Chains A and B, each alone.
Chain A
Amino acid sequence: MIRCESVTYVYQRGTPVETTALADVSLEIRSGEIVGIIGATGSGKSTLVQHFNGLLRPTRGRVYLDDVDIHAREVDRRRLRQQIGLLFQYPEHQLFEETVSADVAFGPRNLGVAGQELDRRVRGALERVGLDPDRFGPRSPFALSNGEMRRVAIAGILAMEPRMLILDEPTAGLDPLSRQEILDHIRRLHDERGLTIVLVSHSMDAVARLCRRLIVMDRGRVVADGAARSVFADPARLAALGLGLPQVTLCAQRLRERGLPVRPDVLTVEEGRAAILEAVAVRARGAS
């Protein structure tokens, strides 16, 4: 659905502080996928996703949505941004309206949605992030907790009914419970509503929990692109890139180093539990 062809992006071109943020990046994100983009701070993750909805224009290279160049003259930018929903880091900083409902309505209203349809979309979007429209709708967004504000911001994008949702560090700065809730809502948007999801993060636990496929970035380049399991199977390489492992994967690999034959490629706590129980059972059988 989205395809980047040798995308290069240079910040502050022609000044002494010129920096290449993306260097020759080619990749494809297919409809219905749930993809994680990981990389150390400054590796170009955020710059890359801003190319997906045309906020940044590549210095060299092209970006295609369904095989149409998104910077072609006839492409309507609003329609592009309706289809590719992008949520920035700390999205609660973009709230501005007097009520939660009005803020969520901002996006669809810009697209020309009005009346009952607008109302339906606002209520639907709030419900999908677990906020009761009757209780939260009339309140001021500035009177909510951080986690609630962030969910309002996500609803603001969902109300535009995009096909693809890009989230840049959606759990940064939240407490563990809010983090868990946000990730659960994201997973449900993918599982139940078929949204294509791109999750930008340096929380290995978050991407391990949600994403099948991982794209690893380092200093503006894609250095790995493949199944999450195979990416996490090479901890030495990740460490060299300034990245770690999900807690549970790390736990499994440490147990293995100490002689318990646990599968090293577990990604979730449930998998980890099963793998450890199995390893213990195998060892018990061997001992008897």
Chain B
Amino acid sequence: MLIVELIKNLFRKPETVRYPYETKGLNFPERLRAMHVIDQDSCIGCSKCARACPAFVIQMVPLTEEELAKRNEKIKRKRVKPVIDLTACIFCGVCEEVCPTDCLNLTNQLVMPSGRKEELEVG
């Protein structure tokens, strides 16, 4: 029996992969909560996500002059936009739940190591 197991294990693939260099063979479930995506064109700046966030990581930042000029007709009254600090986010998904326009979504993009803090801000 031991020899059978031994031979089997000799030709078996390793259980692990060299993450994050390899992501092949990793099954990310549909409900996985990872990096956020915010569609600023449909965001109305209501601040619901910032108020609901249990980790207090969503800041409502005033729009710049350029962004104010770019706003489309639908969101004419928008003055602020959400910016999420991923370094302190607990990925609970509450912001996604409370968003009235579905502009804030959690993707299953897990790979987010970075040396610069600015890269870990979504907004």
Physical interaction between A and B? no
